[in-house]
């Protein structure tokens, strides 16, 4: 179980930066969500509603969201949460189903999930207060491996599972390489461990259905070097400063030197 440690400082960058990036780092929302908020007229600077996420600023002084002043970005923090099955990775649900925020303890900072786990999937979910860290962790180009264990009903051979390493197209959607290994089988039920780097919506369930398998339980056991080992359903812990610093540095070294400009 990770232990709480001193908080790491935010990355230092010189010069003005896009407001979408600054607000994401402050934990308001992801860059994409912030761009939508700007389009909806919800973000202002010194009382003037902004119209473009390309606005360059030195700081968030004078910036408001829904009329409320934005606090400066705090130190980046990363939490490990064991998401229970039967919860949504969302802030709220119009249908009234429970969300991860219903299960989190009081007193935490504003946290954003890194990627998503669907309603029926359980296991490791990373949470952060830093939009830039969230973006780094989610980008396939960062090469962060997600590891799952699936209990599936149906007949499949190891040879069939190994074909997934080349990627597969299902209903017009192309899924990247998946490393899958059959752990054990009882009758027509088997446990399969698999690793991937894309994490598209319901990827595991859709790819397995393509192989004729019905997933009855899906657990994410690891996200990069972080694991759910020893964690109970609903439990949360924080990554210590040194571990987070080293992990962020490894992401920077893996990431491409240049990224396509934002729209």
pLDDT greater than 50 at residue 4 = no
To the question of pTM greater than 0.85 for the whole model, the response is: no
In the predicted model, what is the mean pLDDT of the chain? 87
Q: Which residues are catalytic?
A: 118
pLDDT of res. 141 = 83
Residues of the chain with CATH 3.30.2350.10: 145-223
Under CATH, what is the fold of the domain 17-69? 3.10.290
CATH number of 145-223: 3.30.2350.10
What would the pLDDT profile of 22-65 be if each residue is shown by its tens digit?
Answer: 888 787 887 888 999 999 999 999 999 999 988 999 888 899 99
User: Residue 190 and residue 155: Cα distance in Å, rounded?
Assistant: 9
User: Residue 234 and residue 212: Cα distance in Å, rounded?
Assistant: 32
Torsion of CA 128, 132, 134, 139, to 10 degrees: -170
Mean pLDDT of 106-120: 92
pLDDT of res. 257 = 43
Mean pLDDT of 75-90: 95
**For the purposes of burial, counting CB atoms within 10 Å of the CB of 263, is it exposed (0-12), middle (13-18) or buried (19 or more)?**
exposed
Residues of the chain with CATH 3.10.290.10: 17-69
Under CATH, what is the fold of the domain 78-141+225-254? Alpha-Beta Plaits (3.30.70)
pLDDT greater than 80 at residue 253 = no
Range with the largest mean pLDDT of 6-10, 58-62, 234-238: 234-238
Other residues' Cβ atoms within 10 Å of the Cβ of residue 153: 14
Mean pLDDT of 135-143: 87
Residues of the chain with CATH 3.30.70.580: 78-141+225-254
What would the pLDDT profile of 142-192 be if each residue is shown by its tens digit?
Answer: 889 999 999 999 999 999 999 999 999 999 999 999 999 999 988 889 999
Other residues' Cβ atoms within 10 Å of the Cβ of residue 172: 5
């Amino acid at each position: 179980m990770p232990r709480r440690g001193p908080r790491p400082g935010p990355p230092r960058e010189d010069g003005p930066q896009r407001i979408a990036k600054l607000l994401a780092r402050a934990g308001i929302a992801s860059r994409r969500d912030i761009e939508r908020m700007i389009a909806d007229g919800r973000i202002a600077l010194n009382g003037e509603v902004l119209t473009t996420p390309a606005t360059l600023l030195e700081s968030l002084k004078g910036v408001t969201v829904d009329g409320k002043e934005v606090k400066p970005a705090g130190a980046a923090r990363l939490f490990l949460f064991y998401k229970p099955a039967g919860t949504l990775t969302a802030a709220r649900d119009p249908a009234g189903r429970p969300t991860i925020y219903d299960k989190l303890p009081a007193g935490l900072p504003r946290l954003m999930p890194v990627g998503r786990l669907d309603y029926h999937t359980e296991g490791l979910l990373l949470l952060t207060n830093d939009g830039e860290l969230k973006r780094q962790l989610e980008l396939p180009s960062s090469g962060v491996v997600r590891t799952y264990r699936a209990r599936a009903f149906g007949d499949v051979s190891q040879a069939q599972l190994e074909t997934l390493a080349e990627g597969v197209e299902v209903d017009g959607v192309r899924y990247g390489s998946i490393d899958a290994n059959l752990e054990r089988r009882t009758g027509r039920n088997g446990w399969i461990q698999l690793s991937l780097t894309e994490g598209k919506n319901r990827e595991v369930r859709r790819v397995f259905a393509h192989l004729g398998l019905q997933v009855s339980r899906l657990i994410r056991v690891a996200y990069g070097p972080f694991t759910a080992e020893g964690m109970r359903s609903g439990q949360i812990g924080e990554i210590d400063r040194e571990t987070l610093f080293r992990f962020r540095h490894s992401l920077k070294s893996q990431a491409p030197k240049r990224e396509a400009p934002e729209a």
